[in-house]
Amino acid sequence: MIRLGAGSGFSSDRLQPAIDLARDGELDWLVFETIGERTLAFGHRDRQLDASKGYNPQLAKRMRGVLGHCHANGTRIMSNMGVANVSAAAEVVIGVARELSLKGLKVAALEGDEITDLMAPETVLFDFGGRRLEEVGKPLVGANVYLGIDAMLPAVESGADVVITGRVADPSLFLAPLVNHFGWQTDDWELMGRGTLVGHLMECGMQVTGGYFADPGFKDVSRLADCGYPIADVAEDGSVEISKLAGTGGRVSQRTVKEQLLYEVHDPRKYLTPDVTADFSTVVIDEVERDRVRVSNAGGRKRPDQLKVTVGFDGGYFGEAGVSYAGPGASKRAELARDILVELLDRIPGAQGTYRTDIVGLNAVHARARAATDRQREIVEDVRLRVGMRTVDREAVEMMLWEVEALLCCGPAGGGGYRGQISPSVVTHSTMIDRDMVSPRVTIYEA
Q: Kindly list the residues in this chain that would bind another protein in the complex (CB under 8 A).
A: 36-38, 41, 127, 212-213, 215, 218-219, 255, 258-269, 281-285, 312, 315, 355-356, 358, 360, 364-366, 368-369, 386, 388-390, 425-430
Nearer to another protein, 10 or 418 (CB): 10
CA 225 to chain centre: 21
Nearer to another protein, 268 or 329 (CB): 268
Nearer to another protein, 98 or 356 (CB): 356
Instruction: In angstroms, give the least distance from the CB of 276 to another protein.
Output: 18
For residue 115, give every residue at least 6 positions away whose Cβ sits within 8 Å of its Cβ, in sequence order, or none: 143, 144, 145, 309, 433, 437, 438
Nearer to another protein, 49 or 371 (CB): 371
Query: Do residues 232 and 275 make contact, with C-beta atoms less than 8 angstroms apart?
Result: no
DSSP for 309-377 reads EEEEEEEEEEEEEEEEEESTTHHHHHHHHHHHHHHHHTTSTT-TTSEEEEEETSS-TTTTTSPPPHHHH
- Which amino acid is it at 127? D
State the CB neighbour count (10 A cutoff) for residue 446: 12
State the CB neighbour count (10 A cutoff) for residue 102: 17
Instruction: In angstroms, give the least distance from the CB of 168 to another protein.
Output: 16
Instruction: In angstroms, give the least distance from the CB of 127 to another protein.
Output: 5
Instruction: In angstroms, give the least distance from the CB of 368 to another protein.
Output: 5
Nearer to another protein, 112 or 193 (CB): 193
For residue 180, give every residue at least 6 positions away whose Cβ sits within 8 Å of its Cβ, in sequence order, or none: 153, 156, 157
Instruction: In angstroms, give the least distance from the CB of 362 to another protein.
Output: 12
Instruction: In angstroms, give the least distance from the CB of 198 to another protein.
Output: 17
Nearest CA to 273 among 309, 310, 238, 303? Answer: 303
Nearest CA to 107 among 143, 169, 55, 37? Answer: 55
Nearer to another protein, 120 or 262 (CB): 262
Instruction: In angstroms, give the least distance from the CB of 101 to another protein.
Output: 41
Query: Do residues 360 and 386 make contact, with C-beta atoms less than 8 angstroms apart?
Result: yes
Distance CA 168, CA 322 (A): 37
